[in-house]
Each structure stands twice: as C-alpha cells, then as structure tokens.
C-alpha cells in the first residue's frame, strides 16, 4: 500500500503541468533542466522534468561535456543510492504496467532457463541509447535520439497520444513513424497483461542502467541466513523471477518488498544497508 501510494504521488507530481493536457503544449520551464529518476517522457504535456534516457541521447555526442558529466553523475548518484528501487517505487511507466497486469488474462511465467532473454534490455541501452546517438547526428547536429524516436512506448503513451489528441495540426502530420510507435506500444501493452512488467524485464534501458548498480547500491535486501529455512515462499512471491534468499541483490530486483512480506521467518530486511538484526551474509 505504501509503495502504491508513493508510485501514484510520484507520477502525479512529475506530471502536474495540467494546462499542457488541455492545450496540447509542452512545459518548458526551468525544472526541465533537471531529470526525474524514473521513465517519464520529456514531451509528456504534464511533465515538469526530463527523462534521463532522453537527455542522455541528446548530449552523448555533444561538445558540451559539462551536460554529459551532469547526466553521468546523475546515474552514478541515483544508481549508487537506490539502484532499481527507482523502478519499483518511482517510475510512472512501471506503475502503468502493474495496472495493466491486473487485467485478468492468462499469465505467462517463463522458466528460469529463459532468464538470459532479460539481457536484451542491455542491448537496447547500448544500441539505441549509446551507439546510434553517439555516432549519428540529426539535422540539428545533436545525437539522433534513437530510443525515443523509434522505440519508447512510454513516450507514445505519455506524449504522442495526448499531444495528438489535444493538437489538431500535430494530428494531421502524424505519419508512418507514429504508427510504428503505436504498434510497439500495443505490443508492450499486450505482453504486459501476460508477463509482469514485460518492458522493465526485457526492454527498458533505464532499468538496465539501474540494474548495473543493484549489487552495490546502498538500498538493498539482506538475508538472515541463520533463520531462513529455504521454504521458498519468497520465490513464489517474486514476480520479477528473482530467488530472493539466494540472490537478494539480483539486477532484476525492483525492491518491491513482496518477498519480505511473504517470508514467514522474517529473514529478509530491506533498507539503506542497515541490518535489522545480526546477519550472516552469503556473498554472490
Ligand atoms: S521466505 Fe524467508 S524463510 Fe522462506 S526461503 Fe525466503 S527468505 Fe528463507
Ligand atoms: S519480490 Fe523481493 S526479490 Fe522480487 S523484485 Fe520484489 S523485492 Fe526484489
């Protein structure tokens, strides 16, 4: 309940430029110089901040190194402090996927032998967020924002659809690229009704960045091995396919806390690296 409240409050606060939804314009005030930690499109009519993945693509081949350093510092600080806590608690698109997963369609749980497919999100990060924007410039001389332009379903949902709805001239100019993006959004939505947080698991470049920090991030899960009975309740509770008592700081863990709630022995604790009771850590 606390997590859901934080997710909703974060989504509302970061998209509270309500006028934009009414007149189909994008807020361009000073707060847009700052990035929000989660996946929230810069061009969403209500957005008060920038998406770090969108901003990174825009500056990765820029001569203005200060901006690039700002973004690298942003990823380092947020990643080191929180890791994928951002995905589980602060990302509006994660919340959206959790809602549509509630639609009562038959669910798909891929066996662990297919976990390697989750590495695809690192490919999205490397190819569309780093390599293409770093080596291909668009007409304005800045890196081609390939992920935003060709892939991002959050952008289509949060900015493409509302802007087209509110702005007639944009509606008239929407072409094949918009239809392609709409198809990707539909693909993600359909699969997210069957696979919990499909986009986060397989496609999200921001989740991939924070996943790299999960093993070292200050916010973490600890297992008290003296009282864990290896009953497996935590495995059944985890929708991100983590084995919490074996690998509590897996790159896939979004710190949702479901495993902790499900543990009858209270062997799991979650927080800023402050052990609740004396622990005997296993290293991974
Ligand atoms: S639910 Fe608790 S006791 Fe059971 S395996 Fe997981 S951490 Fe151990
Ligand atoms: S259930 Fe536990 S291990 Fe799984 S994602 Fe949530 S916090 Fe992480």
Best mutation site among 222, 223, 231, 242 for ligand 1 pocket (most ligand atoms within 8 Å of CB):
231
Confirm whether pTM is higher than 0.75. yes
The rounded percent of the chain whose pLDDT value lies above 90 is: 63
Tell which atom from ligand 2 comes closest to the C-alpha of 257. 7
Q: Are residues 163 and 283 part of one domain?
A: no
Q: Are residues 58 and 187 part of one domain?
A: yes
CATH value at residue 232: 3.30.70.20
As for how many domains the chain has, the answer is 2
| CB of 230 sitting under 6 A from ligand 1 | yes
What is residue 217's predicted lDDT score, i.e. its pLDDT? 93
Distant-in-sequence, close-in-space partners of 21: CB < 8 Å, separation ≥ 6? 45, 46, 162, 166
Measure the CA–CA gap between 56 and 133, rounded to whole angstroms.
9
pLDDT at 281 over 50: no
Mean pLDDT of the chain: 88
CB atoms within 10 A of CB 28: 9
* 225: containing domain: 221-284
Q: Are residues 202 and 238 part of one domain?
A: no
User: Using CB atoms within 10 A of its CB, is residue 13 exposed (0-12), middle (13-18) or buried (19+)?
Assistant: exposed
Distance 244 CA to ligand 2 centre (A): 7
Q: Whose CA is nearest to atom 4 of ligand 2?
A: 238
The tally of CA atoms less than 13 A away on the side-chain side of residue 138 is 12
Q: Are residues 196 and 172 part of one domain?
A: yes
pLDDT at 57 over 80: yes
Which of the pair, 82 or 134, is modelled with greater confidence? Answer: 82
Tell which atom from ligand 1 comes closest to the C-alpha of 233. 1
Best mutation site among 254, 260, 266 for ligand 2 pocket (most ligand atoms within 8 Å of CB):
254
Q: How confident is the model at residue 66 (pLDDT cuts 50, 70, 90)?
A: low
Q: Are residues 193 and 229 part of one domain?
A: no
User: By C-alpha distance, which of 208, 169, 161 is closest to 185?
Assistant: 161
Please write down the HEC assignment for all residues of 185-230: HHHHHHHHHHCCCHHHHHCCHHHHHHHHHCCCCCCEEEECCCCCCC
Distance 105 CA to ligand 2 centre (A): 23
Q: Which ligand approaches the C-alpha of residue 247 most closely?
A: 2
Domain boundary among 174, 192, 212: 212
From 25-39, 61-75, 203-217, the region with the lowest mean pLDDT: 61-75
Tell which atom from ligand 2 comes closest to the C-alpha of 237. 1
Domain boundary among 212, 246, 261: 212
What is residue 64's predicted lDDT score, i.e. its pLDDT? 61
Q: Are residues 206 and 116 part of one domain?
A: yes
Measure the CA–CA gap between 116 and 123, rounded to whole angstroms.
12
Hey, what's the torsion of the CAs at 153, 156, 159, 164, to 10 degrees? -170
Measure the CA–CA gap between 177 and 179, rounded to whole angstroms.
5
| CB of 234 sitting under 6 A from ligand 1 | yes
Q: How confident is the model at residue 275 (pLDDT cuts 50, 70, 90)?
A: very low
Domain boundary among 178, 212, 246: 212
User: Using CB atoms within 10 A of its CB, is residue 174 exposed (0-12), middle (13-18) or buried (19+)?
Assistant: middle
């Amino acid at each position: 309940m606390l997590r859901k409240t934080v997710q909703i409050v974060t989504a509302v606060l970061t998209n509270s430029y309500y006028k934009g939804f009414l007149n189909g314009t994008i807020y361009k005030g000073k707060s847009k110089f700052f990035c929000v930690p989660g996946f929230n499109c810069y061009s969403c009519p209500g957005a008060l901040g920038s998406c770090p993945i969108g901003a990174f693509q825009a500056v990765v081949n820029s001569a203005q190194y200060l901006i690039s350093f700002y973004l690298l510092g942003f990823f380092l600080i947020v990643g080191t402090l929180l890791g994928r806590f951002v995905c589980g608690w602060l990302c509006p698109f994660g919340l959206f996927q959790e809602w549509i997963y509630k639609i009562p369609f038959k669910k798909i749980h891929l066996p662990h032998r297919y976990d390697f497919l989750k590495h695809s999100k690192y490919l999205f990060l490397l190819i569309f967020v780093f390599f293409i924007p770093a080596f291909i410039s668009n007409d304005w001389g800045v890196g081609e924002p390939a992920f935003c332009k060709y892939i991002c379903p959050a952008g289509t949902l949060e900015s493409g659809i509302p802007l087209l709805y509110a702005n007639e001239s944009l509606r008239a100019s929407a072409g094949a690229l918009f239809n392609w993006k709409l198809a990707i959004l539909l693909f993600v939505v359909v699969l997210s009704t069957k696979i919990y947080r499909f986009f986060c698991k397989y496609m999200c470049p921001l989740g991939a960045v924070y996943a790299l920090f999960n093993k070292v991030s200050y916010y973490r899960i600890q297992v008290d091995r003296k009282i864990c009975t290896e009953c497996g309740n935590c495995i059944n509770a985890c929708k991100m396919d983590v084995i919490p008592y074996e690998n509590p700081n897996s790159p896939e863990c979004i710190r949702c806390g479901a495993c902790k709630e499900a543990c009858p022995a209270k062997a799991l604790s979650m927080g800023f690296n402050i052990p609740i009771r004396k622990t005997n850590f296993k290293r991974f």
